[in-house]
Structure 1
Amino acid sequence: MKRVTPVLALGALLLTALPAHATDNGPAHRDSYGTKAVYSPGQNPRTYQQAPAGYTAVFTENVSRHGSRSATDGEDGDTVLALQIIPLATLMRLPGSEKAATPGRTYTYANNPWRGAEVASLASNIQWDVFRKGDDYLVRMLYNEKEVAFKAGCKPVSKGSKFYDLDELEKCFDRS
Protein backbone atom coordinates (compact mmCIF):
# COMPACT_ATOMS: atom_id res chain seq x y z
CA MET A 1 0.00 0.00 0.00
CA LYS A 2 2.92 2.36 0.63
CA ARG A 3 3.76 2.42 -3.12
CA VAL A 4 0.12 3.09 -3.99
CA THR A 5 0.43 6.40 -2.17
CA PRO A 6 2.28 7.99 -5.13
CA VAL A 7 -0.63 7.01 -7.39
CA LEU A 8 -2.98 8.79 -5.02
CA ALA A 9 -0.60 11.76 -4.88
CA LEU A 10 -0.45 11.89 -8.70
CA GLY A 11 -4.25 11.79 -8.86
CA ALA A 12 -4.52 14.45 -6.16
CA LEU A 13 -2.04 16.64 -8.03
CA LEU A 14 -4.10 16.43 -11.20
CA LEU A 15 -7.35 17.11 -9.33
CA THR A 16 -5.87 20.07 -7.42
CA ALA A 17 -4.50 21.46 -10.67
CA LEU A 18 -8.07 22.01 -11.85
CA PRO A 19 -8.93 25.68 -12.19
CA ALA A 20 -10.90 27.04 -9.22
CA HIS A 21 -13.93 27.70 -11.43
CA ALA A 22 -13.96 24.02 -12.46
CA THR A 23 -15.44 23.06 -9.10
CA ASP A 24 -17.93 25.94 -9.01
CA ASN A 25 -21.49 24.67 -9.49
CA GLY A 26 -22.81 28.16 -10.27
CA PRO A 27 -25.32 28.40 -13.10
CA ALA A 28 -22.90 30.16 -15.48
CA HIS A 29 -20.47 27.24 -15.41
CA ARG A 30 -23.14 24.56 -15.36
CA ASP A 31 -24.51 25.90 -18.63
CA SER A 32 -21.12 26.30 -20.33
CA TYR A 33 -19.62 22.93 -19.32
CA GLY A 34 -22.70 20.77 -18.94
CA THR A 35 -23.85 18.28 -21.52
CA LYS A 36 -26.84 16.04 -22.00
CA ALA A 37 -25.06 13.71 -24.43
CA VAL A 38 -25.98 10.07 -24.03
CA TYR A 39 -23.26 7.91 -22.49
CA SER A 40 -22.01 4.83 -24.25
CA PRO A 41 -19.30 2.56 -22.76
CA GLY A 42 -16.14 2.75 -24.87
CA GLN A 43 -15.20 -0.94 -24.62
CA ASN A 44 -16.51 -4.28 -23.41
CA PRO A 45 -14.69 -5.19 -20.16
CA ARG A 46 -14.12 -8.73 -21.48
CA THR A 47 -11.76 -7.25 -24.09
CA TYR A 48 -9.48 -5.42 -21.59
CA GLN A 49 -5.82 -6.43 -21.65
CA GLN A 50 -4.91 -8.79 -18.82
CA ALA A 51 -2.27 -7.67 -16.36
CA PRO A 52 1.14 -9.21 -17.06
CA ALA A 53 1.84 -12.56 -15.36
CA GLY A 54 2.27 -12.32 -11.60
CA TYR A 55 0.59 -8.92 -11.18
CA THR A 56 -2.56 -8.72 -9.06
CA ALA A 57 -5.04 -5.86 -8.78
CA VAL A 58 -4.48 -3.88 -5.57
CA PHE A 59 -6.30 -0.58 -6.13
CA THR A 60 -8.95 1.02 -8.34
CA GLU A 61 -9.81 4.72 -8.29
CA ASN A 62 -12.62 6.14 -10.35
CA VAL A 63 -13.73 9.71 -11.04
CA SER A 64 -17.14 9.64 -12.68
CA ARG A 65 -20.21 11.64 -13.54
CA HIS A 66 -23.60 10.66 -12.13
CA GLY A 67 -24.91 7.38 -13.48
CA SER A 68 -21.55 5.98 -14.51
CA ARG A 69 -21.10 2.24 -14.70
CA SER A 70 -17.66 1.56 -13.25
CA ALA A 71 -15.62 -1.15 -11.58
CA THR A 72 -15.93 0.55 -8.19
CA ASP A 73 -18.87 0.10 -5.85
CA GLY A 74 -19.70 3.80 -5.71
CA GLU A 75 -18.03 4.28 -2.35
CA ASP A 76 -14.55 4.14 -3.86
CA GLY A 77 -15.32 6.49 -6.74
CA ASP A 78 -16.20 10.14 -6.53
CA THR A 79 -19.22 11.38 -8.43
CA VAL A 80 -18.31 14.63 -10.12
CA LEU A 81 -19.65 16.99 -12.72
CA ALA A 82 -18.49 17.71 -16.24
CA LEU A 83 -16.98 20.78 -14.56
CA GLN A 84 -14.35 18.45 -13.11
CA ILE A 85 -14.10 15.72 -15.76
CA ILE A 86 -13.41 18.17 -18.62
CA PRO A 87 -10.40 19.93 -17.01
CA LEU A 88 -9.00 16.63 -15.68
CA ALA A 89 -9.33 14.98 -19.11
CA THR A 90 -7.68 18.02 -20.66
CA LEU A 91 -4.78 18.04 -18.18
CA MET A 92 -4.22 14.34 -18.87
CA ARG A 93 -4.60 14.89 -22.64
CA LEU A 94 -7.25 12.17 -22.96
CA PRO A 95 -8.83 11.41 -26.36
CA GLY A 96 -11.00 14.25 -27.64
CA SER A 97 -9.51 16.83 -25.28
CA GLU A 98 -6.12 17.39 -26.91
CA LYS A 99 -6.91 20.32 -29.23
CA ALA A 100 -7.17 23.67 -27.48
CA ALA A 101 -8.87 26.67 -29.02
CA THR A 102 -6.48 28.95 -30.90
CA PRO A 103 -5.80 32.10 -28.84
CA GLY A 104 -7.45 35.13 -30.42
CA ARG A 105 -9.67 32.99 -32.65
CA THR A 106 -13.30 32.32 -31.79
CA TYR A 107 -14.00 28.63 -31.22
CA THR A 108 -16.43 27.10 -33.70
CA TYR A 109 -17.37 23.54 -34.63
CA ALA A 110 -15.84 24.21 -38.05
CA ASN A 111 -12.36 25.19 -36.75
CA ASN A 112 -11.90 22.84 -33.76
CA PRO A 113 -12.69 19.12 -33.16
CA TRP A 114 -13.13 19.52 -29.36
CA ARG A 115 -16.63 18.56 -28.16
CA GLY A 116 -17.72 18.65 -24.53
CA ALA A 117 -20.30 15.96 -25.25
CA GLU A 118 -17.47 13.57 -26.16
CA VAL A 119 -15.02 14.61 -23.43
CA ALA A 120 -17.59 14.43 -20.61
CA SER A 121 -20.85 12.87 -21.71
CA LEU A 122 -23.42 11.91 -19.08
CA ALA A 123 -21.90 9.19 -16.88
CA SER A 124 -18.40 9.90 -18.22
CA ASN A 125 -15.60 8.40 -16.11
CA ILE A 126 -11.84 8.11 -15.67
CA GLN A 127 -10.51 5.08 -13.81
CA TRP A 128 -7.02 3.99 -12.76
CA ASP A 129 -6.33 0.37 -11.90
CA VAL A 130 -3.12 -0.48 -10.02
CA PHE A 131 -1.52 -3.92 -10.18
CA ARG A 132 1.29 -5.17 -7.96
CA LYS A 133 4.03 -7.79 -8.27
CA GLY A 134 6.44 -7.65 -5.33
CA ASP A 135 7.65 -4.04 -5.18
CA ASP A 136 6.68 -3.26 -8.79
CA TYR A 137 3.45 -1.46 -9.65
CA LEU A 138 1.69 -1.09 -12.99
CA VAL A 139 -1.12 1.35 -13.73
CA ARG A 140 -3.82 1.07 -16.40
CA MET A 141 -6.27 3.85 -17.24
CA LEU A 142 -9.83 3.50 -18.49
CA TYR A 143 -11.61 6.53 -19.97
CA ASN A 144 -15.34 5.98 -20.38
CA GLU A 145 -14.64 2.30 -19.76
CA LYS A 146 -12.15 2.05 -22.62
CA GLU A 147 -8.48 1.27 -22.09
CA VAL A 148 -6.52 4.33 -23.19
CA ALA A 149 -2.90 5.34 -23.26
CA PHE A 150 -1.55 7.98 -20.91
CA LYS A 151 -0.40 11.22 -22.56
CA ALA A 152 2.25 11.27 -25.29
CA GLY A 153 5.70 10.90 -23.80
CA CYS A 154 4.64 8.31 -21.19
CA LYS A 155 6.10 4.94 -22.17
CA PRO A 156 4.04 1.76 -21.63
CA VAL A 157 5.75 -1.41 -20.37
CA SER A 158 5.77 -2.77 -23.94
CA LYS A 159 4.67 -1.62 -27.38
CA GLY A 160 0.87 -1.68 -27.66
CA SER A 161 0.38 -2.22 -23.92
CA LYS A 162 -2.00 -0.11 -21.84
CA PHE A 163 0.03 -0.80 -18.68
CA TYR A 164 2.56 1.74 -17.35
CA ASP A 165 5.17 1.36 -14.64
CA LEU A 166 4.36 3.66 -11.72
CA ASP A 167 7.89 5.14 -11.77
CA GLU A 168 7.45 5.97 -15.48
CA LEU A 169 4.17 7.79 -14.79
CA GLU A 170 5.74 9.75 -11.94
CA LYS A 171 8.50 10.85 -14.33
CA CYS A 172 6.07 11.55 -17.17
CA PHE A 173 3.87 13.76 -14.95
CA ASP A 174 6.90 15.49 -13.32
CA ARG A 175 6.32 13.85 -9.94
CA SER A 176 9.65 12.01 -9.47
Structure 2
Amino acid sequence: MKKKVMYSIIVTLLLFTSLNSFSQAYKKGFKQFNAGVGLLFVGAYASAEFGVDNNIGVGPIVGYTYYNTGLLSGYYGDYGYGQYRVGARGAYHLGETFKIKDDKIDPYIALSIGVVVDRTDINFNANTLEIEYNKRVLPFFNPRFGAAMELTQNLKAYVELGYGGSWMQGGIAFKF
Protein backbone atom coordinates (compact mmCIF):
# COMPACT_ATOMS: atom_id res chain seq x y z
CA MET A 1 0.00 0.00 0.00
CA LYS A 2 2.87 2.39 0.80
CA LYS A 3 4.33 1.83 -2.68
CA LYS A 4 0.99 2.70 -4.30
CA VAL A 5 0.70 5.91 -2.30
CA MET A 6 4.32 6.89 -3.07
CA TYR A 7 3.83 6.14 -6.80
CA SER A 8 0.67 8.29 -6.80
CA ILE A 9 2.44 11.18 -5.08
CA ILE A 10 5.29 11.10 -7.61
CA VAL A 11 2.88 11.11 -10.56
CA THR A 12 0.91 13.99 -9.05
CA LEU A 13 4.09 16.01 -8.42
CA LEU A 14 5.24 15.45 -11.98
CA LEU A 15 1.88 16.66 -13.22
CA PHE A 16 1.88 19.88 -11.22
CA THR A 17 5.57 20.76 -11.58
CA SER A 18 5.47 20.57 -15.36
CA LEU A 19 2.36 22.69 -15.98
CA ASN A 20 4.38 25.61 -17.36
CA SER A 21 5.37 23.94 -20.64
CA PHE A 22 3.37 24.11 -23.85
CA SER A 23 3.31 21.48 -26.58
CA GLN A 24 2.56 22.37 -30.18
CA ALA A 25 0.40 19.26 -30.65
CA TYR A 26 -1.95 19.70 -27.68
CA LYS A 27 -3.44 23.19 -27.65
CA LYS A 28 -6.49 24.18 -25.63
CA GLY A 29 -9.66 22.80 -27.26
CA PHE A 30 -8.21 19.59 -28.75
CA LYS A 31 -10.43 16.47 -28.79
CA GLN A 32 -9.27 12.86 -28.74
CA PHE A 33 -10.89 9.42 -28.38
CA ASN A 34 -8.81 6.47 -27.08
CA ALA A 35 -9.67 2.78 -27.43
CA GLY A 36 -7.42 0.00 -26.19
CA VAL A 37 -7.00 -3.48 -24.80
CA GLY A 38 -5.24 -4.88 -21.74
CA LEU A 39 -1.98 -6.58 -22.61
CA LEU A 40 -1.26 -8.38 -19.31
CA PHE A 41 -4.83 -9.06 -18.20
CA VAL A 42 -7.63 -9.33 -20.76
CA GLY A 43 -9.55 -6.07 -20.89
CA ALA A 44 -11.05 -3.31 -23.01
CA TYR A 45 -10.84 0.40 -22.29
CA ALA A 46 -12.18 3.60 -23.85
CA SER A 47 -11.74 7.24 -22.91
CA ALA A 48 -12.27 10.68 -24.37
CA GLU A 49 -9.97 13.62 -23.84
CA PHE A 50 -10.95 17.27 -24.20
CA GLY A 51 -8.26 19.95 -24.03
CA VAL A 52 -9.01 22.30 -21.14
CA ASP A 53 -5.61 24.00 -21.41
CA ASN A 54 -2.41 23.56 -23.41
CA ASN A 55 -1.10 20.00 -22.84
CA ILE A 56 -3.94 19.13 -20.43
CA GLY A 57 -6.94 16.98 -21.33
CA VAL A 58 -9.77 15.59 -19.21
CA GLY A 59 -12.70 13.34 -19.97
CA PRO A 60 -14.63 10.17 -19.15
CA ILE A 61 -13.19 6.66 -19.00
CA VAL A 62 -14.85 3.23 -19.02
CA GLY A 63 -13.22 -0.18 -18.90
CA TYR A 64 -13.54 -3.88 -18.24
CA THR A 65 -10.80 -6.21 -16.99
CA TYR A 66 -11.03 -9.99 -16.64
CA TYR A 67 -8.89 -11.79 -14.08
CA ASN A 68 -8.57 -15.58 -13.86
CA THR A 69 -7.41 -16.29 -10.34
CA GLY A 70 -7.69 -20.04 -10.86
CA LEU A 71 -4.81 -19.96 -13.32
CA LEU A 72 -2.74 -17.63 -11.14
CA SER A 73 -3.20 -19.54 -7.90
CA GLY A 74 -2.77 -23.04 -9.34
CA TYR A 75 -6.14 -24.22 -8.04
CA TYR A 76 -8.36 -26.39 -10.16
CA GLY A 77 -11.35 -24.67 -11.74
CA ASP A 78 -12.22 -21.31 -13.16
CA TYR A 79 -12.11 -18.60 -10.51
CA GLY A 80 -12.24 -15.78 -13.02
CA TYR A 81 -14.05 -12.53 -12.40
CA GLY A 82 -14.53 -9.20 -14.09
CA GLN A 83 -14.09 -5.59 -13.02
CA TYR A 84 -15.99 -2.69 -14.54
CA ARG A 85 -14.55 0.82 -14.20
CA VAL A 86 -16.31 4.13 -14.76
CA GLY A 87 -14.75 7.46 -13.97
CA ALA A 88 -12.85 10.53 -15.10
CA ARG A 89 -9.35 10.76 -16.51
CA GLY A 90 -6.92 13.62 -16.77
CA ALA A 91 -3.77 13.55 -18.91
CA TYR A 92 -0.78 15.84 -19.21
CA HIS A 93 1.25 15.63 -22.44
CA LEU A 94 4.99 15.92 -21.76
CA GLY A 95 6.51 16.52 -25.22
CA GLU A 96 7.73 20.03 -24.48
CA THR A 97 8.77 19.15 -20.91
CA PHE A 98 11.09 16.43 -22.22
CA LYS A 99 12.09 18.73 -25.13
CA ILE A 100 11.08 16.18 -27.75
CA LYS A 101 11.44 17.87 -31.12
CA ASP A 102 9.66 15.08 -33.02
CA ASP A 103 5.91 15.85 -32.86
CA LYS A 104 5.21 12.22 -33.79
CA ILE A 105 6.13 11.04 -30.27
CA ASP A 106 3.80 12.00 -27.40
CA PRO A 107 4.79 10.93 -23.85
CA TYR A 108 2.18 11.66 -21.20
CA ILE A 109 1.07 10.93 -17.66
CA ALA A 110 -2.55 10.25 -16.78
CA LEU A 111 -4.62 9.84 -13.68
CA SER A 112 -8.05 8.20 -13.53
CA ILE A 113 -10.46 8.26 -10.62
CA GLY A 114 -13.90 6.73 -10.31
CA VAL A 115 -15.68 3.59 -9.16
CA VAL A 116 -14.99 -0.06 -9.87
CA VAL A 117 -17.65 -2.75 -9.66
CA ASP A 118 -15.86 -5.93 -8.66
CA ARG A 119 -16.49 -9.48 -7.54
CA THR A 120 -14.82 -10.66 -4.38
CA ASP A 121 -15.10 -13.29 -1.64
CA ILE A 122 -15.11 -16.40 -3.79
CA ASN A 123 -17.11 -19.11 -2.05
CA PHE A 124 -17.64 -22.71 -3.05
CA ASN A 125 -21.22 -23.82 -2.45
CA ALA A 126 -21.05 -27.50 -1.51
CA ASN A 127 -24.80 -27.96 -2.06
CA THR A 128 -24.85 -26.73 -5.67
CA LEU A 129 -21.17 -27.48 -6.43
CA GLU A 130 -20.81 -23.99 -7.89
CA ILE A 131 -18.65 -20.99 -7.15
CA GLU A 132 -20.44 -17.96 -5.72
CA TYR A 133 -19.21 -14.37 -5.80
CA ASN A 134 -20.11 -11.32 -3.77
CA LYS A 135 -20.15 -7.96 -5.54
CA ARG A 136 -18.64 -4.74 -4.25
CA VAL A 137 -18.35 -1.16 -5.45
CA LEU A 138 -15.11 0.64 -4.58
CA PRO A 139 -13.36 3.86 -5.55
CA PHE A 140 -10.32 3.57 -7.79
CA PHE A 141 -7.25 5.75 -8.34
CA ASN A 142 -5.17 4.75 -11.38
CA PRO A 143 -1.92 6.61 -12.20
CA ARG A 144 -0.40 5.72 -15.58
CA PHE A 145 2.49 6.68 -17.84
CA GLY A 146 2.16 6.32 -21.59
CA ALA A 147 3.49 7.23 -24.98
CA ALA A 148 1.77 7.59 -28.31
CA MET A 149 3.26 7.51 -31.79
CA GLU A 150 1.62 9.33 -34.67
CA LEU A 151 0.57 7.03 -37.53
CA THR A 152 -1.34 9.67 -39.52
CA GLN A 153 -2.30 13.27 -38.75
CA ASN A 154 -5.36 12.15 -36.73
CA LEU A 155 -4.43 8.59 -35.69
CA LYS A 156 -1.95 7.43 -33.06
CA ALA A 157 -0.93 4.11 -31.52
CA TYR A 158 -0.28 4.14 -27.77
CA VAL A 159 1.06 2.00 -24.92
CA GLU A 160 0.47 2.71 -21.21
CA LEU A 161 1.97 1.29 -18.04
CA GLY A 162 0.55 1.79 -14.59
CA TYR A 163 -1.59 0.71 -11.73
CA GLY A 164 -5.21 -0.34 -12.21
CA GLY A 165 -6.99 -2.49 -14.74
CA SER A 166 -4.34 -4.18 -16.81
CA TRP A 167 -0.81 -3.10 -15.86
CA MET A 168 -0.07 -2.63 -19.57
CA GLN A 169 -2.52 -1.35 -22.16
CA GLY A 170 -2.22 -0.60 -25.83
CA GLY A 171 -4.51 0.81 -28.47
CA ILE A 172 -5.28 3.64 -30.85
CA ALA A 173 -6.15 7.30 -30.36
CA PHE A 174 -8.25 9.35 -32.79
CA LYS A 175 -7.65 13.10 -32.70
CA PHE A 176 -10.48 15.32 -33.99
Name the TM tier (shorter chain).
Answer: 0.3 to 0.5
Structure with the higher helix share, 1 or 2: 1
Higher relative contact order (CA 8 A, sep 6+): 1
Structure having the higher Rg: 2
Structure with the higher strand share, 1 or 2: 2
Structure 2-normalised TM-score? 0.32
Structure 1-normalised TM-score? 0.32
